[in-house]
Amino acid sequence: MEQQGLSRKDLEAYIGPRQRVWDILERRRPLSLAMIRRLEKGLRIPAHLLIREYPLLRTAA
């Protein structure tokens, strides 16, 4: 985001509603394949960077 000067609002076009963007950036939800494809095509982010495994944070239930 920093490299391309993007805000969370800018990511809504590729990821979905504001809450979903927030969940992904806070590692509460993984990227879907469709999101990865849109980010790769629209922002020219290589897919291999987006499909890496990363731990999701657990939410208090």
Nearest Cα to 7, choosing from 36, 51, 55, 15?
15
- pLDDT band, residue 59 (cuts 50/70/90): low
- Look at residue 58 in the predicted model and tell me its pLDDT: 73
Sorting pLDDT into bands at 50, 70 and 90, what band is 61? low
| Cα–Cα nearest to 24, from 40, 36, 37 | 36
Using CA atoms, how far apart are residues 57 and 10, in angstroms rounded to an integer? 24
Would you kindly state where each structural domain of the chain is located, as residue ranges? Answer: 8-50
d(CA 61, CA 11): 28
Confidence at residue 60, expressed as pLDDT on a 0 to 100 scale: 56
pLDDT tens, 8-30? 999 999 999 999 999 999 999 99
